[in-house]
Amino acid sequence: MSIKSFLIGSPIETIKEKHERLSKKMGLAVFSSDPLSSVAYGTEEIMFALIAGGAALLSYTLPIAIAIVITVSIVVTSYYQTIHAYSSGGGAYIVAKENLGELPGLIAGSALLIDYVLTVTVSVAAGIAAITSAFPATKSYTITMCLVSILFIMVVNLRGVRESGKVFSLPVYIFIGSLLVLIAASLSKSFSLPHIEREVTGAANIFPVFIILRAFASGCVTLTGIEAISNGVRAFKAPEAKNAGITLVWMAVMLGFLTIGIAYFSNYYGIMPNPNETVVSQLARTVFGKGVVYYTIQFATMLVLILAANTSYSDFPRLSSIMANDRYLPRQLSNRGDKLVFSNGILILSFLSALLIILFGGDTHSLIPLYAIGVFTAFTLSQLGMVRHWIREKGKGWFKSTIINGIGGITTGVVLVIVAVEKFTHGAWIVLIAIPFVVFLTQKVHRHYLSVAEQLSLEKCITGEKEYKHHSVIIPISGLQQAVISAIKYAKALSDDVTAVYVYIDPVETKKMKEKWDVSCMGVKLEILHSPYRSVMEPLMDYIDSIREKHKDGIITVVLPEFVPSKWWHHLLHNQTALFIKGVLLFKKGVVSTSVPFHLKV
């Protein structure tokens, strides 16, 4: 508990939850760090895709960036309406489930959960790539630095929403400021430095349209995280919907300006994609040289890319809690921790992200193809759900809202197809398989909870049901000591039919035990079970089954004497036989297990 208090601080009372809400400025840092950080690698991914068709195709970088920004504006306009229509949060999952049905809702929810895991992985990997670009000697420590970064973000988020907002706000705004300085300096230098023509080393592909579509699909990672604000409306201060909507607009304006600025000047200064140095690093080096400003930009980029994972840490636990409340995920995910955050969701997200970092070696370019499929699936279902919502409600301005969401749904649907087709062979097939698999698991979980609820319902009670006619108490023992004596006293208080059971393994020990028992048995009979193969569990379970067969209308209580060491590590020095017995008995109908602890002082 002392370690826990040191890491995450003192607990927060439930009544103080409203004081943990976010302002617009802090909300921008918490929920928009993912889409804003994608500026650092969005242009780079476009250029890496285009270079496959020859350097001549790099001239399409800016037009593709503009097309992506137009897509951003369409999606943001659609989500602005979603925020005001569903101010309770939940985003694509709630919208799709309420308007399109259970299956579309689960597809949207599953797609987002997968995308949030990938967001953490890609963001952290891209952030560490910014450091290895500036300091190539650190490249061999990529995985270690990624895992440490995930651990840091996890601990900060476990400390609470406001705490994470305070920690992450400054780096986000430093990053925005540094990129604005970079774009301003690039513009200033362009007046004295002419446009640099790239050396064309290869001819354009005979079908450049496919290369361009692939580049567009790669650049669409810029849109990931846009839905985060609509999922977390309830995290904002009142009026929640208004503050969330304003924050969404702020994010869209900054995202569009920075994306076009980086794409334009990367093209103007003839930047070439380089696996060992990011595009932002090359542009900053070209404009400022390797001085203080350059390293400031790299450090800020590294910070915001790593902290961009915080968007997922805000939304993954929140979405999983909503789905858990609907009984589609384990109910533990709906529980708030000491700091009023969904701690279990944070821990699971950290584990899955760390696992992906290890599997893919922390390589951004290996992870990017897996990215964006989930988020565009959720985008499309959310917008189609909103179309259904407006048509059904027919409130004020419903026709205009239907058109806006309809255009949004068609746009994101087309982009989804492009991304899925163009990235399929590069790894997108994994996500296309993972989404149905997660949907299948959520349905299995839901069916289990429905079955449990039905079986536990009071409506299933049978009035006048006969009581147990007999109560047998069995005490498994391995010897005779004070813990056993305490168990015997407890057992005799439960029933007159008490039997101690000893498994015969060593004849010498068995003889000693019988001699002691005759003196200290307290009137309880001893049953000795033979075990030719030295197994304790098998003869014990056979004996319990024989008692169940003898008293079919009875109940059996297995009383387990246990001594409890004073220190946690002392448990490692003793067998855990009682624990195994309880685990097996849990699945035996008509048998109850209970422990009688004997607490040791040292």
pLDDT of residue 279: 87
Q: Work out the pLDDT band at 54, boundaries 50, 70, 90.
A: confident
472-488 residue pLDDT tens: 999 998 888 888 889 99
Same domain, 26 and 78: yes
- Cα 353 to Cα 138, 293, 319, distances in angstroms: 21, 32, 17
Mean pLDDT for 271-299 is 85
Q: What percent of the chain has pLDDT over 70?
A: 89
Mean pLDDT for 527-555 is 88
For 210, the 3-state DSSP assignment is: helix
- Does residue 202 or residue 249 have the better pLDDT? 249
Within-domain flag for 458: no
CATH number of the domain encompassing residue 526: 3.40.50.620
Question: Could you tell me the strand order of the sheet in which 555-564 lies?
Answer: 525-530, 497-504, 471-477, 555-564, 591-599
365-405 residue pLDDT tens: 667 667 678 888 888 898 898 899 889 888 788 888 888 88
Same domain, 186 and 302: yes
For 290, the 3-state DSSP assignment is: coil
For 553, the 3-state DSSP assignment is: coil
Type and span of the H or E element at 190? helix 161-190
pLDDT of residue 2: 61
| Cβ pair 424, 373 in contact under 8 A | no
Cis omega before residue 239 (within 30°)? yes
Closest C-alpha to 37, from 216, 178, 231, 232 = 178
**Of 416, 449, 482, at which residue does a domain stop?**
449
Amino acid letter, residue 191: F
Joined tokens for residue 597: 């602890």
| CB contact burial 51-75 (16+ within 10 A = b; e otherwise) | bebbbbbbebbbebbebbbebbebb
pLDDT of residue 339: 59
Range of the domain at 512: 471-599
d(CA 423, CA 429): 8
Same domain, 371 and 512: no
Residues 6+ apart with CB under 8 A from 479: 509, 513
Within-domain flag for 465: no
| Cβ pair 405, 81 in contact under 8 A | yes
Three-state helix/strand/coil letters over 81-123: HHHHHCCCCCHHHHHHHHHHCHHHHHHHHHHHHHHHHHHHHHH
End-to-end CA distance of the chain: 21
Joined tokens for residue 601: 């002082």
- Cα 552 to Cα 357, 469, 549, distances in angstroms: 55, 9, 5
Instruction: Give one word for 597, left, alpha or beta, with left for phi > 0 and alpha for psi -120 to 50.
Output: beta
Would you list the DSSP string of 418-478? HHHHHTGGGTHHHHHHHHHHHHHHHHHHHHHHHHHHHHH-GGG--TTPPPPS-EEEEEEES
CATH number of the domain encompassing residue 439: 1.20.1740.10
Same domain, 135 and 250: yes
1-23 residue pLDDT tens: 566 665 666 555 555 555 567 78
Within-domain flag for 463: no
Same domain, 412 and 493: no
Mean pLDDT for 91-107 is 89
Closest C-alpha to 441, from 119, 96, 113 = 113
110-130 residue pLDDT tens: 998 998 898 888 878 877 877
Q: Determine the angle formed by the axes of helices 61-85 and 39-50, rounding to 10 degrees.
A: 140
For 203, the 3-state DSSP assignment is: coil
pLDDT of residue 165: 67
pLDDT of residue 454: 84
Same domain, 485 and 413: no
Q: Tell me which of 43-47, 187-191, 587-591 is least confident.
A: 187-191
Residue 437 clears pLDDT 90, i.e. is over it: yes
Same domain, 432 and 483: no
For 562, the 3-state DSSP assignment is: strand
Q: Tell me which of 30-39, 158-167, 338-347, 437-446 is least confident.
A: 158-167
d(CA 413, CA 109): 17
Within-domain flag for 461: no
Averaged pLDDT of the chain: 83
Residue 251, class by beta-carbon neighbours within 10 Å (0-12 exposed, 13-18 middle, 19+ buried)?
A: buried
Closest C-alpha to 537, from 473, 597, 587 = 587
Within-domain flag for 63: yes
Residues 6+ apart with CB under 8 A from 58: 47, 50, 51, 198, 267, 272
Q: Work out the pLDDT band at 66, boundaries 50, 70, 90.
A: very high
Within-domain flag for 466: no
Residue 547 clears pLDDT 60, i.e. is over it: yes
Within-domain flag for 462: no
Same domain, 347 and 391: yes
Number of domains forming the structure of the chain: 2
**Of 394, 419, 449, at which residue does a domain stop?**
449
Q: What percent of the chain has pLDDT over 90?
A: 18
**Of 387, 417, 449, at which residue does a domain stop?**
449
- Enter the pTM of the model: 0.73
Within-domain flag for 459: no
Same domain, 420 and 504: no
Mean pLDDT for 306-335 is 86
Same domain, 392 and 507: no
Same domain, 235 and 119: yes
How many CB atoms neighbour CB 478 within 10 A?
A: 17
Same domain, 358 and 215: yes
Residue 205 clears pLDDT 50, i.e. is over it: no
